[in-house]
Amino acid sequence: MSKVAQIQDSEFDELLTDEGLVVVDFTAPWCGPCRKIAPLMEQLAEEYEGRVKVAKLDIDQNKINAKKFGIKSIPAVLMFKGGEMVENLVGVAPYEKFTSAVNQHI
């Protein structure tokens, strides 16, 4: 069972009401690099369960937030705290880059 929630544009604002850290993976099914980081997002969700929410948003089906946050290249992993974006990581990166960013903001 996946610990990474698949969200829609309609759920995005509600997700950001969380005071804790929220990690959103902007992705698409056709994106090869996105598939490379998908297991890393699962690992992140598992490792930080109860402390960090991890979700993914398909930019093909949910264009509102992709446009709102200026997503031009995917994968793009955005981190939010208290409703504000605190981190924007674009492209494939090692797991340590994601955990380092999470640790900086929790």
Q: Which sequence positions are flagged as catalytic? A: 31, 34
Nearest-10 crossing angle of helices 95-105, 32-47: 50
Phi, then psi, of 29 in degrees rounded to 5: -60, -30
Any bridge partners for residue 84, and if so which?
81
Phi, then psi, of 84 in degrees rounded to 5: -105, 140
CB 105 within 8 A of CB 84: no
Q: What's the chain's length in residues?
A: 106
How many angstroms from the chain centroid is the CA of residue 3?
12
